[in-house]
Amino acid sequence: MEKEKQANKKKKSFYDYSLLFVIIFLSCFGLIMIYSTSYYTAQLKLGDSTYYLRRQAMILLGSFAVMIFISKIDYHFWTKFVVFAYLASVIMMVLVNFTPLGREVNGKKRWLGISDSISFQPTEFVKIALILVTACVIVRLVSQIDNWRVAAVVFGLAIPPGLLVLMNNLSSGIIIFGIVFVMYFVASKKTLRFAIFVGGFLALAFLAIPLGEQLVKAGVLQSYQLDRIHVWQNPEAFASEGGFQVLQGLYAIGSGGLFGKGLGNSIQKLGFVPEAQNDMIFSIICEELGLFGAACLMLLFLFMLHRFLIIANNAPDLLGALIVTGAMGHIAIQVILNIAVVTNSIPNTGITLPFISYGGTSLLFLMAEMGLVLGVSNQITLETL
């Protein structure tokens, strides 16, 4: 009788619709906030108040289709292209930094393309490539994962693209190394070495200025990146320079109060906070929706991370668990960095808020990454009678 019951059990594929709902909700909320933060500037500079909204909405529709497509493919399929993806990521960053194909926008050379309309940020591709590469390497060497040589291999793979990204994008460089750190931490059984590493990192934070000066001399950092550290420590002293954006963002947060001024009623977005629809969009959310709205948004991100954790714990194999872990580390680090920058808890590094900030390249590759996570969830099987 027991054998007959087991034979009658059918395997049913799981698909995390809760995560899909959160992705859709955050993306739609992002569209609302992009329009709210940009309509004044878009009308003033471009004569079309819906310019940023329309562009982001079109990219969102295409990106959503890409996400669904990737989620329906077995994630093991993408491991066939990890070597190509890794080499492509390094080559693209070399092209950005050292060839005329690297385009400078707002004083930052982060774009690869032949014109402003035909260009993208390869940094976003680097994040996905490293998640896949790191997952494959750890799976292959998992039996020796706590060996220092294996650790050197895992982190050594992140160094070439990571340093190339650091040259012009400090925040993305931090995220890249952070993703690899989180993935290796989850795979490893040793915790003491990670505690030492985190302690060393915090110690370096107290030496930010002297260390930054040495890195500028060595050519690792740009001088403007060091200036941001000075601005972070004393934004009032640089109010007419780099501290202007930081101070205006803090004014927006402070004036929002508990429940905000109401959607669309921000004052700081009227030319006071530069590019409010990009990196500083969280400050406008605080001003218009208040502390309550900001807390609700952060709870949604926490719920997303919770779904990642559930998928990773139930993934069919270590590869799937590591892919989801990498995506979880990416979202967590980027959200923390963005909110920390806006609240001036860390130096301004120019980092977007996932799903919310304006940016086509970021949204496209972010959705592709979410497709990988949903693809892992789709390989989880449930036994039903």
Q: What is the pLDDT of residues 108-123, one digit of tens each?
A: 777 787 666 667 788 8
Do 129 and 92 meet the contact criterion of CB atoms below 8 Å apart?
no
Residue 385 has pLDDT above 50, yes or no: no
**Could you give the CA distance from residue 178 to residue 175 in angstroms, rounded to a whole number?**
5
pLDDT tens-place string over residues 124-174: 899 999 999 999 999 998 888 888 888 888 889 999 988 888 887 778 888
pLDDT tens-place string over residues 203-222: 666 666 666 666 666 665 66
Tokens 């601005």, residue located: 231
**Of all helices (H) and strands (E), which one includes residue 154?**
helix 148-166
Do 60 and 31 meet the contact criterion of CB atoms below 8 Å apart?
yes
Question: CA dist 60 to 137, 184, 365, Å?
Answer: 32, 32, 11
pLDDT tens-place string over residues 337-349: 999 888 887 777 7
In a domain, 2, yes or no: no
Question: CA dist 342 to 191, 246, 248, 316, 368, Å?
Answer: 31, 7, 10, 39, 26
**Could you give the CA distance from residue 27 to residue 383 in angstroms, rounded to a whole number?**
33
Band (223; pLDDT cuts 50, 70, 90): low
Do 29 and 356 meet the contact criterion of CB atoms below 8 Å apart?
yes
* Average pLDDT over all residues of the chain: 84
Mean pLDDT of 272-277: 81
In a domain, 231, yes or no: no
In a domain, 232, yes or no: no
The b-or-e profile of 63-92 (16+ CB within 10 A means b, else e) is bbebbeebbeeebeebbeebeebbeebbeb
Backbone CA torsion sign across 41, 46, 47, 52? negative
In a domain, 214, yes or no: no
Mean pLDDT of 309-331: 93
pLDDT tens-place string over residues 184-204: 988 887 777 677 777 766 666
Tokens 């690792």, residue located: 220
Do 361 and 124 meet the contact criterion of CB atoms below 8 Å apart?
yes
pLDDT tens-place string over residues 238-255: 666 666 777 788 888 888
Instruction: Give the structural domain span for 350.
Output: 11-201+305-384
Question: CA dist 284 to 18, 156, 242, 276, 353, Å?
Answer: 27, 39, 19, 7, 12
φ, ψ at 359 (rounded to 5°): 160, 115
31 alpha-carbon distance from chain centroid: 18
| DSSP-derived secondary structure letter, 207 | T
Choose between 194 and 332: higher pLDDT: 332
In a domain, 283, yes or no: no
Share of the chain above pLDDT 70, in %: 81
The pTM score is 0.88
In a domain, 44, yes or no: yes
pLDDT for the residue 273: 80
**Could you give the CA distance from residue 362 to residue 368 in angstroms, rounded to a whole number?**
10
In a domain, 325, yes or no: yes
In a domain, 57, yes or no: yes
pLDDT tens-place string over residues 285-318: 999 999 999 999 999 999 999 999 999 999 999 9
Mean pLDDT of 324-352: 88
pLDDT for the residue 277: 86
Count the helices and strands in the chain (H runs, E runs). Answer: 14, 5
pLDDT for the residue 279: 85
Helices 170-187, 318-342: crossing angle, 10 deg rounding: 140
Number of domain units in the chain: 1
Do 38 and 54 meet the contact criterion of CB atoms below 8 Å apart?
no
